[in-house]
Structure 1
Amino acid sequence: MQLDHVTLVTHDLEGTCRFFRDIVGLDDGPRPLFRVDGHWLYANGRPVIHLVDATGPARLSGGSSALVAPRIDHVAFRVAPGVEWRALVERLAAHRVPYQLTEVPASAEVQLFVALAPGVVVEFVTSLPVGAAA
């Protein structure tokens, strides 16, 4: 099994698209003509992020009138260590995107978290030599 794609519903469709295109490095590509605006963002020729314009409050199925909908806490991307990781960090700095860097305890991995919007967090993770700075 492998992750196919993640769908993010956002009120800032273009800003979210720019983040994934200009900073993360995904390609904005072909998308079927759905009834709601959106973007499909590609990595290695596959659409991995589906962005959907938030056109109204989400409702649970089954006739519930509650304005609550499931959400994804965060999406994680594994980034190759070294050049690819440093390039990501440099793009974040160049665009003044704040992030939180965390070392995974008892491992040689580093996580970088970006709060893209309320309720939407993007994680980037890489393997680093023990004791190496991110």
Structure 2
Amino acid sequence: MKLDHATIVTKDLEHARRILCGIVGLSDGPRPSFQVAGYWLYADGRPVIHLVEATLPALEVKACPRIDHIALRVDDAEEWTALIDRLRSNNVPYTLAEVPLADEIQLFVPLAPGVVLEFVTQANSFASTIVN
């Protein structure tokens, strides 16, 4: 079994799309015609993030919070460094944390109210990125 996709319901579709496409590196792709606005964002030819516009009636019938965070693993050193560079050059706030027992680094980016993107990688390969 593997994760197919995550859905993020947000009032600011364009902000989420800019972060996920322009900074993270996902690409906007084909999406079926639904009654609510949104985007399907692709990685490796698959739609992995579904963005859906929050509407008041939909929010009233759904339990909150609906999602806390989505974690994406980055195992390539160049990809990790490029991600950090894009975050910095676009003034996107983020925080870093070490996970000593797992020897990993976590990078957290707030995306929408109540939704955070987490990027995780092995600490031994990327120790120089700990300094924010």
Same fold (TM over 0.5): yes
Q: Is the 1:81–1:127 Cα contact (8 Å) retained in structure 2?
A: no
C-alpha distance in 2 between matches for 1:130 and 1:89: 14
Task: Report the counterpart of residue 10 of structure 1 in structure 2.
Answer: 10
Q: Which structure has more helix as a fraction of its residues? A: 2
* Runs (4+) off by over 4 Å: none
Q: 1:39 to 1:87 in 2, by over 3 A?
A: same
State the AA in 1 paired with 2:105: V
Shift of 1:107: 2.7
Q: Is the 2:10–2:53 Cα contact (8 Å) retained in structure 1?
A: yes
Q: Deviations over 1:9-67 (max 9, x none)?
A: 0100111111100000001000000001100000000000000011214233xxxxxx7
Q: Is the 2:77–2:126 Cα contact (8 Å) retained in structure 1?
A: no
Q: Is the 2:65–2:114 Cα contact (8 Å) retained in structure 1?
A: no
Asked which structure has the greater RCO (Cα within 8 Å, sep 6+), the reply is 2
Task: Report the counterpart of residue 67 of structure 2 in structure 1.
Answer: 72
Q: Does 1:96 align with 2:91?
A: yes
Task: Report the counterpart of residue 43 of structure 2 in structure 1.
Answer: 43
Q: Return 5+ residue gaps in structure 2 as ranges.
A: none
| 1:119 paired residue among 96, 114, 119 | 114
Alignment TM-score, normalising by the size of structure 2: 0.90
Shift of 1:116: 1.3
Q: Is the 1:108–1:130 Cα contact (8 Å) retained in structure 2?
A: no
SS at match of 2:106: strand
Shift of 1:69: 3.6
Larger radius of gyration: 1
Shift of 1:89: 0.3
Shift of 1:81: 3.6
C-alpha distance in 1 between matches for 2:126 and 2:79: 19
C-alpha distance in 2 between matches for 1:45 and 1:110: 27
Alignment TM-score, normalising by the size of structure 1: 0.88
C-alpha distance in 1 between matches for 2:78 and 2:51: 28
State the AA in 2 paired with 1:74: H
State the AA in 1 paired with 2:33: L
